[in-house]
């Protein structure tokens, strides 16, 4: 039957999340190092681990989900609320407990718990843990942001994207967890929604991996399957994460209300299901709780006077892809000023924020490449319609707006491409002599694309055809960054093989941006 659904009157099938009560205390819990190996005990409600996210100077979100049978509907839980105790301490042994409380794990939120812990001190490590029905969670470590006016000598961050579970092992996360980052940014494709025939890992032929996700239960099950991975759990448990989604958290290459898989009214139902499951499994605040098919994801994270991160959402408000998507020659449609990848409100929010910024580094944390990616050898230009190449007017307004506002030290971090691409950001990518306004570091995938190679034919073409591109690689991995007032260094960490367990992780290149000099100053390959 035809479905009638708009964003204004859309009703979720799950209902609203309940508020959190803040009372109670916890006894001693095992250390943060425990629980990363072996199969989870089916009696253990914390099979999906713990996580934290969105740090502020005085607050951080801590997360878990009760799921003693994680791949079963409702995670094997009864359909009733459960009281969960939580505790935050200044030491790993929990001798100096500073905040305690209880939260209601509600069945309509798949018994997930999102506690916005307030009253913390800036720029400090904290440890946190949960308890329910006599069962104790692993402990996680998190870190608050510095005070907004703090002069920070250094910030260490990692960013990652694209972690197709069936295409390899999360060796990159094991490496990330050992490198003591202050914060981790995840920039999209936490899960993949489509069905597969087979994969690299054992159990890749199970229905919870091979079937396409459409319903709320199917999306929940897919997240549970991914979050059972011990290396992913470990990476979540050692640092706060700042997350945003891309397309595969819903469906490949969706754009606002449009996707060829269904009419808009039906697609919005699927989008609501996907958003709900996403929020349930991420360390996000109640401010990000979806309202039907809408979710407020773009936001700012600030680290003193050193860096401000504008976290974007380039899916929910974008125009449909130009020329029917794919890789095409740019033309009037890509240049149409009425088309947008951010939406008008988000674009204004971004530019207004830059105008008011007082930080040394101004960072875009988002989904896909801004820099032009000409994929055609020789004369002519072919570019992907799903990246900012398909939305040239948006790109011109954002990069031009940065130049007009004299934004200091603009850096873009992104994912999506399943390859590493580092570029100068130009006002006019068709003119190599055009002014450089910033630097862009696109990270490769954690696993998507399987092993890859150092430089494939496509990467060689990109380097030849795009003079603004300074580095390329087609292996799997992530990017580790060190930021000081004087310099930004991006360390591209790559894995030799994700098709087997125990691959070797190494630094493929270090790229430098210097304060006051837009663009990439040096590549140590």
Pairing of strands 361-365, 307-311: parallel
d(CA 317, CA 126): 36
Q: Is the pTM of this model over 0.85?
A: yes
What is the rounded distance in angstroms from the CA atom of residue 475 to the CA atom of residue 498?
Answer: 9
Of 3.30.70.640, 3.60.21.70, 3.30.70.1560, 3.30.70.80, which CATH number belongs to 155-190+293-524?
3.60.21.70
Q: What is the DSSP string of 327-380?
A: EE---HHHH-TT--SS-HHHHHHHHHHHHH--SSEEEEE-SS--S-----SSSS
| Predicted pLDDT of residue 22 | 25
Q: Rounded to an integer, what distance in angstroms lies between the CA atom of residue 414 and that of residue 416?
A: 7
- Could you tell me if 452 and 441 are in contact, meaning their C-beta atoms sit under 8 angstroms apart? no
What is the pLDDT at residue 525? 86
**Cα separation of 42 and 40, whole Å?**
6
From residue 92, alpha-carbon distances to 116, 388, 410 in Å are 20, 44, 37
* Contact of 333 with 509, CB cutoff 8 Å: no
Hey, what's the torsion of the CAs at 128, 158, 315, 250, to 10 degrees?
Answer: -60
- Domain-by-domain residue ranges, the chain? 155-190+293-524
Q: How far is CA 211 from CA 208, 218, 221, 311, 448, in A?
A: 6, 9, 11, 31, 18
Output the tens digit of pLDDT for each of the chain's 525 residues.
233 334 433 433 333 332 222 222 333 333 333 333 334 444 899 999 999 999 999 999 999 999 999 999 899 999 999 999 999 999 999 999 999 999 999 999 999 999 999 999 999 999 999 999 889 999 999 999 999 999 999 999 999 999 999 999 999 999 999 999 999 999 999 999 998 888 999 989 898 899 999 999 999 999 999 999 999 999 999 999 999 999 999 999 999 998 999 999 999 999 999 999 999 999 999 999 999 999 999 999 999 999 999 999 999 999 999 999 999 999 999 999 999 999 999 999 999 999 999 999 999 999 999 999 999 999 999 999 999 999 999 999 999 999 999 999 999 999 999 999 999 999 999 999 999 999 999 999 999 999 999 999 999 999 999 999 999 999 999 999 999 999 999 999 999 999 999 999 999 999 999 999 999 999 998
Burial class of residue 524, CB neighbours in 10 A (0-12, 13-18, 19+): exposed
Structure confidence at residue 264 (pLDDT): 93
- Asked if residue 346 lies in contact with residue 366, where contact means CB atoms within 8 angstroms, the answer is no
Phi first, then psi, for residue 500 (nearest 5°) are -130, 160
The CA distance from 274 to 280, in Å, is: 10
Q: Tell me the CB-side half-sphere exposure of residue 17, using CA atoms within 13 A.
A: 26
């Amino acid at each position: 039957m035809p479905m009638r659904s708009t964003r204004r009157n859309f009703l979720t099938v799950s209902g609203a999340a309940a508020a959190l009560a803040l009372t109670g205390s916890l006894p001693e819990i095992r250390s943060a190092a425990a629980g990363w190996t072996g199969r989870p005990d089916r009696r253990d409600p914390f099979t999906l681990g713990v996580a934290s996210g969105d740090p502020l100077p005085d607050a951080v979100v801590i997360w878990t989900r009760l799921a003693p049978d994680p791949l079963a509907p409702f995670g094997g839980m009864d359909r009733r609320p459960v009281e969960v105790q939580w505790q935050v301490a200044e030491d790993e042994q929990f001798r100096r407990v500073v905040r305690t409380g209880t939260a209601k794990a509600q069945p309509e939120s798949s018994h997930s718990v999102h506690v916005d812990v307030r009253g913390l001190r800036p720029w400090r490590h904290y440890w946190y843990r949960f308890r329910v029905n006599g069962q104790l969670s692993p402990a996680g470590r998190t870190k608050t942001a510095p005070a907004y006016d703090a002069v920070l000598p250094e910030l260490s961050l990692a960013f990652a994207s694209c972690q197709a579970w069936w295409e390899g092992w999360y060796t990159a996360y094991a490496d990330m967890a050992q490198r003591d980052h202050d914060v981790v940014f995840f920039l999209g494709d936490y899960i993949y929604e489509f069905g597969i025939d087979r994969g690299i890992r054992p159990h890749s032929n199970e229905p919870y991996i091979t079937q396409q996700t459409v319903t709320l239960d199917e999306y929940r099950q897919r997240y549970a399957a991914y979050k059972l991975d011990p290396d992913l759990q470990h990476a979540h448990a050692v640092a706060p994460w700042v997350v945003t989604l891309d397309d595969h958290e819903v469906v490949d290459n969706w754009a606002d209300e449009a996707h060829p898989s269904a009419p808009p009214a039906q697609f919005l139902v699927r989008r609501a299901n996907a958003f709900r499951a996403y929020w349930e499994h991420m360390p996000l605040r109640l401010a990000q709780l979806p309202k039907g098919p809408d979710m407020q994801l773009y936001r700012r994270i600030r680290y003193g006077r050193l860096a401000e991160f504008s976290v974007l959402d380039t899916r929910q408000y974008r125009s449909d892809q130009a020329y029917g998507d794919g890789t095409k020659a740019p033309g009037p449609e890509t240049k149409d000023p009425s088309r947008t990848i951010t939406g008008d409100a988000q674009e204004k929010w971004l530019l207004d924020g830059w105008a008011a910024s007082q930080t040394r580094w101004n960072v875009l944390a988002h989904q896909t490449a801004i820099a032009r990616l000409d994929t055609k050898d020789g004369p002519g230009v072919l570019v992907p319609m799903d990246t900012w190449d398909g939305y040239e007017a948006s790109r011109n307004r954002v990069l031009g707006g940065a130049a007009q506002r004299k934004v200091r030290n603009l850096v873009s971090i992104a994912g999506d491409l399943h390859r590493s691409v580092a570029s100068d950001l130009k006002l006019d990518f068709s003119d190599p002599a055009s002014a450089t306004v910033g630097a862009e570091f696109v990270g490769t995938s954690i696993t998507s694309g399987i092993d890859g190679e150092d430089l494939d034919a496509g990467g060689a073409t990109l380097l030849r055809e795009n003079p603004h591109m300074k580095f390329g690689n087609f292996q799997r991995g992530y990017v580790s960054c060190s930021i000081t007032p004087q310099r930004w260094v991006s360390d591209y960490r790559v894995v030799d093989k994700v098709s087997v367990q125990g691959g070797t992780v190494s630094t493929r290149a270090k790229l430098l941006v210097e304060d006051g000099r837009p663009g990439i100053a040096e590549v140590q390959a």
